[in-house]
Amino acid sequence: MTRVGFLGAIARVFMWAFLLALVVVVVYPLLWMVLNGFKSNAELFGDPFALPVDWSLDSYRKAWNRGVSDYLTTSVLVTVTSTVATVLVSAWAAYGLTRVAIPLNKTITGLILGGLMLAPTVALVPLVKMFQAMGLYNSFWALLILYTAFRVPFTTFLIRAYMIDLPREVDEAAEVDGAGRWTAFWRIILPMCKPIIISTVMLHVLFAWNEYLFAMVFTSGSGVQTLPVGLMSLMSKHGTDFSVVFAGMVIAAAPVVLLFFLGQRYIVKGLADGIGK
């Protein structure tokens, strides 16, 4: 073996040792979380590295009955409705900005995409007052509206960048067929944008499912808590029943982890395009 080959082999061993150690650092706490959901509370205070003694589903059942089923329902509702609203509104805007001759195009593009620069925290105090005045504070509608309004800039940005590259001939062909704009959008342009639509749907689902600031401020005193807020209620109400909290965490995390593994390709593409391309 040559000297370089030998050094290379040693370097590779170290590299793999490091990469695998990092895998353990990432995976072990997650695994611990899942296992703790199967343990009894007494076991939790024993050896933290031990496996559950009888793999009881009790904690999952308790978590489900102590509110997690409600939180899950709210999360699903908010996520689905705000995803549909955000993607539709953004696709319409992207279509208007790229395929229709509208006045003040540059200004409008700047206004919509400029929303990307504003942090939700900054608008928090006025938004609370606004939603109180509208009678929507502590309601499902507050989350639907806010999740849509604050994600339209990012989603429009992604869809617009994709639509702008579709060839002009597409619109011309639609006109020859006598299709109006409305038909052309639904029948031709939107289907052609399928890859980026899937990306934006997935990124929005990840966002809406995990969002905490708005969910906490706008719904914590109500019956419409999403999972992140609900988990904190579970923690404060049953804070000594730790295995129930772990079970709740697993229920909250599982759907998005699954979504990521199913739609990895689209999520990666959306993220890569979204960072200033």
Partner 1 sequence: MRTVLRRSLGLAWVLPALVLVGVFVYLPLAQNFGFSTLEWDIYSGAQQYVGLDNYRKLVDDPVFWGSFGNNVLYAVLSIVFQVFGALLLAVLIESVRGERWRRALRAVYFVPSAISLTVAGLLFYFVYEPNLGLLNNALEAAGLGGLAQPWLGQESTAMHAVIAMSQWQGFGYSTLLFAVAIQRIPGEIYGAAAIDGAGPVRRLIHVTIPLVREMTGLMTVVTISGAFQVFNEVMVMTSGGPDNSTQVLGTWLYRSGFVRNDFGYAAAIATVIFVVTLALALAQLWVARRRKVDW
Interface residue with partner 1, options 10, 57, 118, 173 (CB under 8 A)? 118
Task: Pinpoint the alpha helices (H) of 39-115.
Answer: 41-44, 58-63, 69-99, 105-114
Number of residues that bind partner 1 (CB under 8 A): 90
Interface map 51-90 toward partner 1 (x if CB under 8 A): --------------------------------------xx
Interface residue with partner 1, options 30, 53, 80, 173 (CB under 8 A)? 30
Residue carrying structure tokens 């072990």: 28
Is 17 a binding residue for partner 1 by CB under 8 A? The answer is: no
**Segment 126-165, which members bind partner 1 (CB under 8 A)?**
126-130, 145-146, 148-150, 152-153, 156
Cα–Cα distance for residue pair 60/66, rounded to 1 Å: 10
Are 274 and 157 in contact by the 8 Å Cβ rule? The answer is yes
Closest by alpha carbon to 151, among 208, 209, 223, 76? 208
Q: For residue 241, what are its two tokens?
A: 């029943």
Interface residue with partner 1, options 9, 10, 13, 18 (CB under 8 A)? 18
Q: What is the H or E stretch that residue 48 is in? A: none
In the bound state with partner 1, the residue whose beta carbon lies nearer, of 191 and 239, is 239
Cβ-count burial 261-272 (b if 16+ within 10 Å, e if not): eebeebbebbee
Q: For residue 182, what are its two tokens?
A: 């409305």
Is 166 a binding residue for partner 1 by CB under 8 A? The answer is: no
Q: For residue 98, what are its two tokens?
A: 């790229």
Interface residue with partner 1, options 1, 102, 133, 176 (CB under 8 A)? 102
Residue 55: CB minimum distance to partner 1, A: 19
The CA distances from residue 44 to 35, 39, 88, 272, in Å, are 10, 7, 46, 41
In the bound state with partner 1, the residue whose beta carbon lies nearer, of 55 and 182, is 182
Is 174 a binding residue for partner 1 by CB under 8 A? The answer is: no
Stretch in the footprint of partner 1 (CB under 8 A) among 65-73, 76-84, 191-199, 239-247: 239-247
Is 5 a binding residue for partner 1 by CB under 8 A? The answer is: no
Is 253 a binding residue for partner 1 by CB under 8 A? The answer is: yes
Q: What is the H or E stretch that residue 240 is in? A: none
Interface residue with partner 1, options 245, 247, 266, 270 (CB under 8 A)? 245
> Angle between the 69-99 and 194-210 helix axes, to the nearest 10 degrees?
140
Residue carrying structure tokens 């006598």: 178
In the bound state with partner 1, the residue whose beta carbon lies nearer, of 130 and 173, is 130
